[in-house]
Structure 1
């Protein structure tokens, strides 16, 4: 009798494994636009009139936003990288298809050359709070709206932190409401966390990871900038919906693992990093197209799919 029960148990366990693998394969089949999965099912809720099917939450980088900027028509920095993507998308889609909301936050980085600026920690926290409030408010008013998050540099760190919270069930909206996330030059980029799109030559990690062991030592150079290391738990349920774009040798997202001169590495964060400033035109991020072209195509694929 015990032998029969053992055989039955093995059969049941085998069936469970087969079913589980089948479900995993099904959930990971099919992409939607370049580098993106099939978006969540939108039939579970209905929107009242005046809502958009999708909302793009755009989070600019350091010195590309302002706390009192207009999120629907940002003018704080006309040369902001994300405007090269959000403006064409606003012109392409109707308001009931896509709402573009650019996070207004201080976007500063106190450093030895600019001690009057808001600290990186405070600026980052402000940006995350503003974005979370918008996600929560829209989800409450428009429960069927799905979100696309896009961030650059400091904005990529914020968007990645939001994705990590949401993917692990502690964010301001449920994971199923996130259609996709793209992080450009994420300071917490980590191998195998999210998907590295385009150039796979990057061998480094985000600056917050590389400098985490010496976070206290570099405080005189960048006071109030905590190098927090990797995101605990990664992106959770959103891992296959998060895209990373990083230009090789951009020390914000492709920092050498060997610390070397930590003080010099900290100074690199506040100097004019030519590679970091060229995402609009750099052909080495995504072969065959620029970063803005890739992002616009990705967003278009999510919406039109």
Structure 2
């Protein structure tokens, strides 16, 4: 009997030991429960920015006959009466260059027409300017990924800056949309109502490139190589809420009639524009209480203050 009880006791001990060993190995194989309150991984750090990089770069694109391909982009002298100088110069005077870089587009800025057959065509001039703006944006963003950009242009300069902004807003440009603090287009030949923001008086017309697109063949003898391309394809995309369209009522470049009865007559209007187109620095009928250039300067100051 004693021997029997001893055997039973040994078997019980073995069973207990075996069960404990199984629980031990199962516990080691089961994953530890996840802590639901575990902290989220830290956000990626902002890209490094060399000390020499400015907080903001202001891109200024002059209009037709207001620039030159070999002009100095930091100290432009091609046309001392350039409208864009009335914007870029006050900004350059207000900030140190290592804080705000003011860069003026150097490009041919010509407009071949029946009265100026030896000039570069509008298409070629505009394309040259577009490429140079894109190169400046890409190079600066590569070196200074935290620098913010403000872009502004007048007339032909407004058209090409608007084209660059349209591509950026659609994710097809040289820099991401979040790198652009704002865009100001003065007398844009591809202006559309309800596309971008109009800070001034209401307008009934549209840009000349849109108005004349249906009669593009008719205008070519007057302005050869000046394609009337119609509206921009993307409506400025992500930049629509920070792109401002400034246009004087009755300016034939940006406030042309929708219905063009005479394409040749309108093409001649592109050559001479009109008195309104040349008066943005003094015209009080563009933005109530101020002038177009003064408005852009004040707007740029506000964006710079937000970006520094």
Structure-2-length-normalised TM-score: 0.84
Q: Which residue of 1 aligns with 2:138?
A: 136
Name the larger-Rg structure: 2
The separation in 2 between residues aligned to 1:89 and 1:239, in whole angstroms, is 24
Q: Which residue of 1 aligns with 2:234?
A: 233
Alpha-carbon RMSD: 0.9
Q: What secondary structure, in the 3-state scheme, does the structure 1 residue paired with 2:219 have? A: coil
Q: Which residue of 2 aligns with 1:53?
A: 55
Q: What secondary structure, in the 3-state scheme, does the structure 1 residue paired with 2:217 have? A: coil
CA contact (8 A) 2:169 2:234 kept: no
Q: Which residue of 1 aligns with 2:81?
A: 79
Q: What secondary structure, in the 3-state scheme, does the structure 1 residue paired with 2:98 have? A: coil
Instruction: Find out whether 1:188 has 2:190 as its counterpart.
Output: yes
Q: What secondary structure, in the 3-state scheme, does the structure 1 residue paired with 2:103 have? A: strand
Q: Which residue of 2 aligns with 1:245?
A: 246
CA contact (8 A) 1:81 1:280 kept: yes
CA contact (8 A) 2:137 2:174 kept: yes
Gaps of 5+ in 1: 1-42
Q: Which residue of 2 aligns with 1:121?
A: 123
The separation in 1 between residues aligned to 2:58 and 2:125, in whole angstroms, is 21
The separation in 1 between residues aligned to 2:164 and 2:143, in whole angstroms, is 20
Shift of 1:124: 0.2
CA contact (8 A) 1:55 1:145 kept: yes
CA contact (8 A) 1:120 1:224 kept: yes
The separation in 1 between residues aligned to 2:215 and 2:99, in whole angstroms, is 46
Shift of 1:272: 5.0
Shift of 1:273: 1.3
Aligned length: 262
Shift of 1:268: 0.4
Q: Which residue of 2 aligns with 1:208?
A: 209
Deviations 1:221-252 (A, max 9, x none): 00000000000121001100100000000010
The separation in 2 between residues aligned to 1:190 and 1:107, in whole angstroms, is 23
Greater length-normalized contact order (CA 8 Å, ≥ 6 residues apart): 1
Moved more, 95-104 or 242-251: 95-104
The separation in 1 between residues aligned to 2:97 and 2:108, in whole angstroms, is 27
The separation in 1 between residues aligned to 2:273 and 2:204, in whole angstroms, is 22
Runs of 4+ in 1 over 6 A off after TM superposition: none
CA contact (8 A) 2:67 2:107 kept: yes
Q: What secondary structure, in the 3-state scheme, does the structure 2 residue paired with 1:134 have? A: helix
Instruction: Find out whether 1:105 has 2:107 as its counterpart.
Output: yes
Shift of 1:46: 3.6
The separation in 2 between residues aligned to 1:283 and 1:67, in whole angstroms, is 32
